[in-house]
Amino acid sequence: MIDPYLKILLYIIIALLVIITLLLLVIITNRYLVSVNQDKFRAKKQKWEELYLNYLQGDLNLKEIAESFKDEKRYYWLWKFFAPYLDMLDGSDFDKTKALCREISLIGHYRQKLEHGNLSEKATAARILGALRCKESITGMISLLDSKHQLLIQAASLGLAKSGESKTFFPAARALLDNTYFTYEGATEILAAYGENAAPLMVRFLEGETELLPGEGKDQSLKKKKKSFDLKTVDPSTYNSVMIDLLGFFRYREALPALHGLISEADPETTVHIIKAFLSIGEVPASFNLKSYLEHPYWVVRNFSARVWRLTGDREAIPLLIKLLDDPNWWVRFNAAEALYEAGENGLDILSMKAEGPDVKSAAISSYVLSRKGVELQA
């Protein structure tokens, strides 16, 4: 007669042995299946590639090529095949590819997932339908912007951005900045996917058409949770800053008048964004008065203004740059010294003189910049 405790232990041991053996089998089977599937996909990809290129060249028509794809029900494989082309193609080739994706039910499948799938399926579908620039799905993707799930908002924003519907920029910006945990930079990165086509709308917003931005979304729970640290609760100037950064990123010259119009009444943070945008665009408006910004009380403004000097080459601002070599902030001193170095022989003489001068800060920064540039001091 076996003790009941021993019996339980024996059962546990047998169960554990069975589970461990099953794990081993799962590992082996998984490795085998993955390898088989990879081979299958490779083979299919090779076959599809040839047919697809013939289709793009016009040797096959839509019906003929669709016939070759129609038996494939692994839609993610189809997506994996088309994704690199969709990222690169434009014009008629893109349209033909999109027509093919529609014909072989790839679009239909993901539209269905966008509406009825689980969270992961919806997010994947939004990304894929966006890349396919599927106009019929835009309403569905916009509705995801009201989701409580950050992943869905991210996928929908990216999907909308890729779909090329510039007018959805503002709802996406609102959702990303108000209703997710994304940092300012993270949200801007996603919005950058809208590309230059959205730039005219952004300029209109900066020029005063603030009604382009929709009202606050339904779910404000995250917004309420945001506490101040380095990401502040979203205020209207944040939207300005995002758009200014993006206009700079797109190097959108046509935005210069609007940016210049904003700077005189901008708060210090927005001023920094505007000056950074000038730097990115590589140009400043003709009437831009750099000198007042080199003397700005906020060090970040002084810092970027020193960098902007290279765009203007304004000789009258050189005395202010020399003054900035003694600035309390290291970055301001560094960029002022860099600007002086760019000023040619005159600037080089000033830096050499300062490097050997009695002022500790200006001497240190001048020798640092000169040593970085490989200039040997005589002393």
Residue spans of beta strands (DSSP E) within 216-364: none
The single residue among 37, 112, 143, 183 that binds other proteins, judged by CB under 8 A, is 183
Contact status: 10 vs other proteins (CB under 8 A):
yes
Contact status: 25 vs other proteins (CB under 8 A):
no
Contact status: 367 vs other proteins (CB under 8 A):
yes
User: Residue 181: which residues within 8 A CB-CB, separation 6 or more?
Assistant: 150, 222
Interacting positions 94-153 with other proteins (CB under 8 A): 119-120, 123-124, 126-127, 150-151
Residue whose pair of structure tokens reads 């689980």 in the numeric block: 118
- Residue with smaller CB distance to other proteins, 213 or 279: 279
Q: Site for other proteins (CB under 8 A): how many residues? A: 62
User: Residue 262: which residues within 8 A CB-CB, separation 6 or more?
Assistant: 206, 240, 244, 270, 274
* Spatial CA neighbour of 98 closest among 159, 44, 56, 39: 56
**Interface pattern 230-269 for other proteins (x via CB under 8 A):** xx-------------x---x--------------------
The span from the first CA to the last CA of the chain, in angstroms, equals 98
- Residue with smaller CB distance to other proteins, 31 or 323: 31
Residue whose pair of structure tokens reads 């569905």 in the numeric block: 140
| Contact by Cβ (8 Å): 236, 174 | no
Dist. CA 175–CA 194, nearest whole Å:
15
The single residue among 24, 36, 43, 53 that binds other proteins, judged by CB under 8 A, is 24
Write 135-140 long-range contacts (CB < 8 A, 24+). 135/163, 135/165, 136/111, 137/110, 137/111, 137/163, 138/163, 138/165, 138/168, 140/111, 140/114, 140/115
Interacting positions 35-94 with other proteins (CB under 8 A): 35, 87
- Residue with smaller CB distance to other proteins, 107 or 155: 155
**Interface pattern 313-342 for other proteins (x via CB under 8 A):** -----------------xx-----------
Residue whose pair of structure tokens reads 């991210």 in the numeric block: 154
| Contact by Cβ (8 Å): 278, 289 | no
* Spatial CA neighbour of 111 closest among 120, 102, 119: 102
Residue 218: φ, ψ to 5°? -70, -45
The single residue among 147, 154, 168, 238 that binds other proteins, judged by CB under 8 A, is 154
Choices 66-74, 320-328, 339-347, 365-373 (CB under 8 A): range interacting with other proteins: 365-373
The single residue among 105, 147, 188, 303 that binds other proteins, judged by CB under 8 A, is 188
- Give the footprint of other proteins on this chain (CB under 8 A): 3, 5-6, 9-10, 12-13, 16-17, 19-20, 23-24, 26-28, 30-32, 34-35, 87, 119-120, 123-124, 126-127, 150-151, 154-155, 158, 180-183, 185-186, 188-190, 192-193, 225-227, 229-231, 245, 249, 280, 330-331, 364-365, 367-368, 371-372, 374
